[in-house]
Structure 1
């Protein structure tokens, strides 16, 4: 049988594709010395659970935790229960609490670093909802995370965006919440391309004003903030903001379009990383940080360069459905036995999109077992009716 695949393309036709079958470069086996790097991890749905996908969540705990062990083995810290784990897109707070509790326990037993997302997603916003309700929702989730021994990533709140009348309301909420946490947190500024409900975050109509408002909050609460992750897909804005942060506050890039040069940086500084794409390209990213630790800048750039077209494809508009591509790659790479997602989100990208994703991943040399990846995409295409 031919090694070539018949893949659906944007032309509406099937085209032959010959997989490259590249080998993966050597990876890290411990945390990189040059940067602090978090991979925002996805969750694995239980494909045998007989549930209403629109309102219920059942996870395959062994597969979910196994993937976190894999990320730790490559030197990553894990950013748990973030938007990559489908917070607000199928993963409710009850399921999230169990995920956080299990993952923190797993981190302790495997000596892995972990930080967990605290938000307000269990709050039902109504005309009677107040800013105090938002504060209490944040504090409930922060308290739970700290009670199980986790560190906090303070996620952006759609409820706050809906209720705030201006930057002073953001300042009030963040100051009140931050005053009650036990340890410094990582703030998370997520752009509206990831969640339309976050439009106008920080109480500003322009992105530059939003940055000023955010920086004011950081400087007023500096001792309670260890870093900030921004996911705005604007590298110039990230660099501008990075240069204005207090020395004690790290910039974590969340820019899944421009991460290689933001992490590499220049004489003026660099970004650390907290990225969803690291879940998808974990072995290559680990290899790139191994090169960076060794001072091999060209090697770092050469490894990551072909992952950028892949990342831009995974995160293309509507960006919030990038999780589909992340889980599809986990399936192709053998980390889970099925391509099913919480909330049925495996259906949110076309088979043409998935075929292009396969090609870009193959060209980047991402597949651990290229033959298995080819076999698995054929199974998905069979179900989709591609003959």
Structure 2
């Protein structure tokens, strides 16, 4: 059987799906790297909601997907941008997600870390009408929810702080106060503007060298309260240089969905751990690769993970913030959910040619446990768009 897939020129091309998936089995957590997969949420397709309404989630499918990641030895990064924080999932929904996922983690013995932000503060027509005290209080409210759930906290970048901060000193003040009161070491998250344009100039400067200095100043002032830093700038050189400047004992978690194999493998001066959105669809394959790396086989690790970069670069192509659409498509095709619907209606955020290429690349990697089901679902999607597959 073949499929007719649209290309970017509007032409249909013939594709022959593979018939056998990769043989990937669940396994224990890793020994050489700490690896988080930032997990997506599954929308409730039967909920009568508008794009502006609070998200309605299918809790059974959402939690089942987290159990899938834990079963393969991955840790779960919860309520992050992959879960559509700020793009369909509001703070009330995120808080419920954190509580439910943390309880599920305890039940199955899985590791979990959860995003702490300020998204309960909403902009008005003139921007964010808040001062630093309100921003800090919003962070504190979310930090309390995460800590009360028993999860590790990830201090995410704040759109409100990016809008209100007058310079580096405001970041030093806000983060310093948060770190001093954190009960356990946290992960600091630097999310670049390619993932969220509202974060342009984070850490007080659009000059990345200056921003890096401020970021490292925050870490250096509180090394006992920082488990690690998550860098999502899609700049391998900058991440490597920053990694070498971290205090002893502070991890670097790569969030670079373009260069993750080389950053995780590392060099003579060190390596990055991982906290990646692309490890949502790549979970079992990524887990297998890291287990190979655990044995010291860097070559075998690369042979497994390097071929996935083409898919990742496709999913995260500009505008990068819409990568979640491809992630959810692949979850549907892989059988982790029964529909291709997203909170906020973001299933429409990528074109049919983009989705078709995502399917082809994922199928070529053997990511679908049941290739025939994936083909049938892709055929349904093509028909919906008016293509005779």
Q: What range is the shorter-chain TM-score in?
A: over 0.9
Between 1:7-16 and 1:155-164, the stretch displaced more is 7-16
Matches of 1:186 and 1:199, distance apart in 2: 20
Q: CA RMSD in A?
A: 1.1
For residues 341-380 of structure 1, the aligned pairs below 5 Å read 341-380=342-381
Instruction: Give the secondary structure class of the aligned counterpart of 1:280.
Output: coil
* Aligned 8 A contact 1:229 1:254 in 2: yes
* Aligned 8 A contact 1:306 1:363 in 2: no
* Aligned 8 A contact 1:25 1:287 in 2: no
1:70 aligns with 2:71: no
1:331 aligns with 2:329: no
CA apart distance, 1:367: 1.4
Deviations 1:279-323 (A, max 9, x none): 011111011112112222222111112110000000000000000
Matches of 1:199 and 1:333, distance apart in 2: 35
Residue from 3, 7, 10 that aligns with 1:9: 7
**Alignment partner, residue 105 of structure 2:** 107
Residue from 29, 35, 42 that aligns with 1:37: 35
Instruction: Give the secondary structure class of the aligned counterpart of 2:183.
Output: coil
Matches of 2:194 and 2:290, distance apart in 1: 28
Deviations 1:365-384 (A, max 9, x none): 21111111111111111111
TM-score normalised by the chain length of structure 2:
0.97
1:239 aligns with 2:237: no
**Alignment partner, residue 138 of structure 2:** 137
**Alignment partner, residue 116 of structure 1:** 114
Between 1:40-49 and 1:7-16, the stretch displaced more is 7-16
Query: Are residues 334 and 138 of structure 1, via their aligned partners in 2, closer, same or farther at CA, if it must alter by over 3 Å?
Result: same
Between 1:176-185 and 1:256-265, the stretch displaced more is 176-185
**Alignment partner, residue 216 of structure 1:** 217
* Aligned 8 A contact 2:256 2:276 in 1: yes
For residues 295-306 of structure 1, the aligned pairs below 5 Å read 295-306=296-307
CA apart distance, 1:28: 4.8
* Aligned 8 A contact 1:24 1:283 in 2: no
What number of residue pairs does the alignment pair up?
Answer: 385
Deviations 1:231-254 (A, max 9, x none): 000000000000000011100000
CA apart distance, 1:117: 0.2
Residue from 15, 18, 21 that aligns with 2:19: 21
Matches of 1:36 and 1:56, distance apart in 2: 33
1:310 aligns with 2:311: yes
Instruction: Give the secondary structure class of the aligned counterpart of 2:279.
Output: helix
Instruction: Give the secondary structure class of the aligned counterpart of 1:277.
Output: coil
Matches of 1:128 and 1:313, distance apart in 2: 37
* Aligned 8 A contact 2:34 2:273 in 1: yes
Matches of 1:246 and 1:41, distance apart in 2: 29
Matches of 1:144 and 1:248, distance apart in 2: 26
Instruction: Give the secondary structure class of the aligned counterpart of 2:36.
Output: strand
Matches of 1:297 and 1:365, distance apart in 2: 21
Matches of 2:83 and 2:162, distance apart in 1: 21
**Alignment partner, residue 48 of structure 2:** 50
Query: Are residues 128 and 89 of structure 1, via their aligned partners in 2, closer, same or farther at CA, if it must alter by over 3 Å?
Result: closer
TM-score normalised by the chain length of structure 1:
0.98
* Aligned 8 A contact 1:23 1:365 in 2: yes
Matches of 1:240 and 1:295, distance apart in 2: 24
CA apart distance, 1:11: 2.4
CA apart distance, 1:325: 0.5
Query: Are residues 265 and 25 of structure 1, via their aligned partners in 2, closer, same or farther at CA, if it must alter by over 3 Å?
Result: farther
* Aligned 8 A contact 1:28 1:289 in 2: no
Moved beyond 3 Å, runs of 4+: 25-28, 125-128
Matches of 2:242 and 2:30, distance apart in 1: 24
**Alignment partner, residue 205 of structure 2:** 204
Instruction: Give the secondary structure class of the aligned counterpart of 1:122.
Output: coil
**Alignment partner, residue 98 of structure 1:** 96
Deviations 1:40-68 (A, max 9, x none): 00000000001122222110000000000
Between 1:152-161 and 1:359-368, the stretch displaced more is 359-368
Query: Are residues 296 and 28 of structure 1, via their aligned partners in 2, closer, same or farther at CA, if it must alter by over 3 Å?
Result: farther
Query: Are residues 127 and 56 of structure 1, via their aligned partners in 2, closer, same or farther at CA, if it must alter by over 3 Å?
Result: closer
